[in-house]
């Protein structure tokens, strides 16, 4: 049976989708059979592997909501093979934004994803679920279907507050719906590696009682190739295999699969300066406003 991993953080823009696509593509490249499941109405994961959801007849919306009285949609009807071997996709769609309204009235509304994935899961080694930036019913479905959770987080002030809420939600889900759910680990993403502040935040987080020992050693630095990869719908391992983004995601995939010793891929620390603090937050240094 596959490992089913939900990638969650209700904070927006922390690298959830980038993590799903690129860990998925690296695992597939290593020979594992991988299914990506796009539970997010933004459908970024679908676009990110080169599939335009607007061109699809049926998506996850149809399977979860069953909008047609005369036809039953099953997961097997909507799975797409991407252009890369071993990498399949359950496509998301903007209509999923309206799915919540339909789902709240359904019996067993929290377990729909788990139940509909079950019949198709056998051929896969990994099922990676991309979730929206909220603790909505769609995210709860993902957390109920998964055995493990990967939490991407930026190294920025307040980024840890969101993790506390997620851990509370996971506690509730363990109690009511999915007892074996566990944290696979927290990934520090979009790290401006030379800024001392980021490192301090990570260090502090690593000392937090609930988070201690849960961080992946491999951290994802800022990398323009990852942005280009998202824009072009090509996983970074295929677009720019020599980039540090691709190498870091490959190290993470191997770490997750238990194939390699975890690698710390960060260069040495640099003193905090006005310039690198500004770079970290995409600010214009004060002297450069003209």
Residues that bind ligand ATP (CB under 6 A): 12-18, 40, 42, 44, 133, 189-190, 220, 222-223, 226-227, 230, 245
User: Which CB, 40 or 110, lies closer to ligand ATP?
Assistant: 40
Question: Is residue 285 within 8 Å of 279, Cβ to Cβ?
Answer: no
- Which of Mg ion, ligand ATP, none interacts with 167 (beta carbon under 5 to 8 A by kind)? none
Which tokens go with 29?
Answer: 């490249």
Q: Which residue has the tokens 């904070």?
A: 11
Minimum distance, C-beta of residue 268 to ligand ATP, in the bound complex (Å) = 19
Q: Applying CB under 5 A, which of residues 2, 5, 16, 256 lies at the interface with Mg ion?
A: 16
User: Which CB, 133 or 185, lies closer to ligand ATP?
Assistant: 133
User: Which CB, 36 or 155, lies closer to Mg ion?
Assistant: 36
Q: Which stretch, 12-20, 61-69, 210-218, 247-255, contacts Mg ion (CB under 5 A)?
A: 12-20
Q: Which stretch, 36-44, 79-87, 256-264, 275-283, contacts Mg ion (CB under 5 A)?
A: 36-44
Question: Is residue 128 within 8 Å of 24, Cβ to Cβ?
Answer: yes
Those residues with Cβ within 8 angstroms of residue 197's Cβ, 6 or more apart along the chain or in another chain:
272, 277, 280
Question: Is residue 284 within 8 Å of 278, Cβ to Cβ?
Answer: yes
Question: Is residue 137 within 8 Å of 109, Cβ to Cβ?
Answer: yes
Question: Is residue 236 within 8 Å of 226, Cβ to Cβ?
Answer: yes
11 forms part of the interface with Mg ion (CB under 5 A): no
Dihedrals phi, psi of 163, to nearest 5 degrees: -65, -40
User: Which CB, 14 or 129, lies closer to ligand ATP?
Assistant: 14
Residue 136 exposed, middle or buried by CB count within 10 Å (0-12, 13-18, 19+): buried
Q: Beta-carbon neighbour count of residue 79 at 10 Å?
A: 14
- Which of ligand ATP, Mg ion, none interacts with 14 (beta carbon under 5 to 8 A by kind)? ligand ATP
Minimum distance, C-beta of residue 189 to ligand ATP, in the bound complex (Å) = 6
17 forms part of the interface with Mg ion (CB under 5 A): yes
User: Which CB, 120 or 129, lies closer to Mg ion?
Assistant: 129
Interface with Mg ion (CB under 5 A): 16-17, 44
């Amino acid at each position: 049976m596959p490992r089913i991993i939900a990638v969650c953080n209700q904070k927006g823009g922390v690298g959830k989708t980038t993590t799903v696509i690129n860990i998925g593509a690296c695992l597939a490249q290593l020979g594992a059979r991988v299914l990506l499941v796009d539970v997010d109405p933004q459908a970024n994961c679908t676009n990110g592997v080169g599939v335009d959801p607007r061109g699809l007849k049926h998506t996850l919306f149809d399977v979860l909501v069953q909008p047609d009285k005369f036809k039953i949609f099953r997961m097997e009807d909507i799975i797409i093979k991407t252009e890369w071997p071993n990498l399949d996709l359950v496509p998301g769609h903007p209509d999923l934004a309206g799915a919540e309204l339909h789902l709240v009235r359904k019996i067993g509304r929290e377990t729909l994803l788990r139940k509909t994935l079950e019949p198709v899961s056998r051929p896969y080694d990994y099922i990676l679920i991309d979730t929206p930036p909220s603790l909505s019913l769609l995210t709860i479905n993902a957390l109920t279907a998964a055995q493990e959770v990967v939490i991407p987080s930026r190294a920025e002030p307040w980024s840890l507050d969101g993790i506390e809420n997620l851990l509370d939600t996971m506690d509730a889900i363990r109690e009511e719906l999915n007892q074996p759910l566990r944290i696979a680990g927290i990934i520090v993403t979009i790290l401006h590696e030379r800024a001392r502040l980021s490192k301090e935040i990570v260090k502090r987080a690593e000392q937090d009682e609930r988070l201690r020992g849960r961080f992946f050693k491999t951290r994802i630095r800022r990398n323009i190739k990852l942005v280009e990869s998202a824009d072009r719908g090509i996983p970074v391992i295929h677009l720019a295999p020599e980039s540090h983004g691709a190498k870091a995601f490959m190290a993470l995939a191997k770490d997750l699969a238990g194939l390699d010793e975890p690698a710390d891929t960060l260069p040495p620390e640099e003193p905090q300066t006005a310039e690198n603090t500004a770079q970290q937050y995409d600010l214009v240094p004060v002297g450069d406003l003209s």
